[in-house]
């Protein structure tokens, strides 16, 4: 059965796993951290996707002081920002961003500004003019704060925005913000997004005469 279209006013885009495939870097850095801590690397990676690093650490090591998590995460962020080997765009990301250039959209990512800039550049993708990063929120995904701030920056109510996400934490944040969520890639399927697509090659964005954006989905 064809996927019904969505009609919205603005789009809020996650970065890692949605626009940028950074799995190789994330795996290198977090597997190393997991081994150092005696934790299961696969479980660490399952928790790490879509969250700020210090919250991943707090989830996995709940008895540690948050000050230690923040300090240790600064080191991991430096590693991740410097390591761009294997970073590539998600299929269709470049063309999708090009189609959105004159439409209301924003990047909403759990990455720092520096990490976001490094990964978007490594993937050869245009950085949206409006962006909400880890530096702009007090609560990370799955809290909806980032998506609500993105909607406010674009000047549209949450229910008229759509979220593009790949992770469980990100999908939960979008739904908690009252927004439909397009789940991108294989990780998204198990977290109940509104719509699921394998990648961005299956998505088309068209401006309607009244200024709204119609999203259609192939397949």
pLDDT tens figures, 79-107: 999 999 999 999 999 999 999 999 999 99
Same domain, 207 and 172: yes
Same domain, 143 and 155: yes
pLDDT-above-70 percentage for the chain: 99
Same domain, 211 and 141: yes
Q: Which one-letter DSSP state was computed for residue 135?
A: G
Average pLDDT, the chain: 94
Residue 195 DSSP SS3: strand
Q: 206-210 long-range CB contacts below 8 Å, 24 or more apart?
A: 207/102, 207/103, 208/7
Same domain, 135 and 59: no
Q: Which range marks the domain in which residue 37 is found?
A: 23-82
Same domain, 10 and 31: no
Active site annotation includes 16: yes
Active site annotation includes 14: yes
- Distance CA(149)–CA(136), nearest Å, equals 9
Same domain, 74 and 93: no
- Whether the predicted pLDDT of 37 surpasses 70: yes
Same domain, 97 and 160: yes
Question: Residue 184 domain-assigned?
Answer: yes
Among the options 16, 23, 83, 199, which is catalytic? 16
* Banded model confidence at residue 1, pLDDT cuts 50, 70, 90: low
Structurally, the chain folds into a number of domains equal to 2
Are 181 and 142 in contact by the 8 Å Cβ rule? The answer is no
């Amino acid at each position: 059965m064809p996927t019904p279209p969505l009609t919205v006013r603005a789009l809020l885009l996650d970065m890692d796993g949605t626009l940028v495939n950074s799995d190789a870097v994330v795996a290198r850095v977090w597997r190393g951290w997991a081994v150092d801590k005696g934790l299961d690397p696969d479980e660490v990676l399952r928790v790490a996707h879509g969250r700020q690093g210090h919250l991943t650490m707090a989830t996995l090591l709940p008895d540690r002081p948050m000050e230690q998590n923040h300090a240790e995460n600064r080191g991991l962020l430096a590693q991740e920002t410097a390591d761009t080997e294997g970073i590539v765009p998600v299929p269709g990301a470049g063309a999708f961003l090009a189609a959105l250039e004159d439409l209301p959209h924003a990047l909403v990512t759990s990455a720092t500004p520096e990490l976001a800039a490094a990964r978007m550049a490594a993937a050869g993708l245009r950085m949206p003019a409006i962006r909400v990063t880890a530096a702009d929120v007090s609560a990370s995904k799955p809290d909806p704060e980032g998506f609500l701030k993105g909607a406010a920056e674009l000047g549209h109510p949450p229910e008229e925005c759509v979220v593009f996400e790949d992770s469980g934490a990100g999908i939960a944040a979008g739904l908690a913000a009252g927004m439909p969520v397009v789940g991108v890639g294989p990780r998204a399927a198990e977290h109940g997004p509104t719509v699921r697509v394998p990648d961005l090659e299956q998505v088309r964005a068209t401006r309607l005469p009244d200024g709204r954006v119609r999203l259609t989905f192939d397949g």
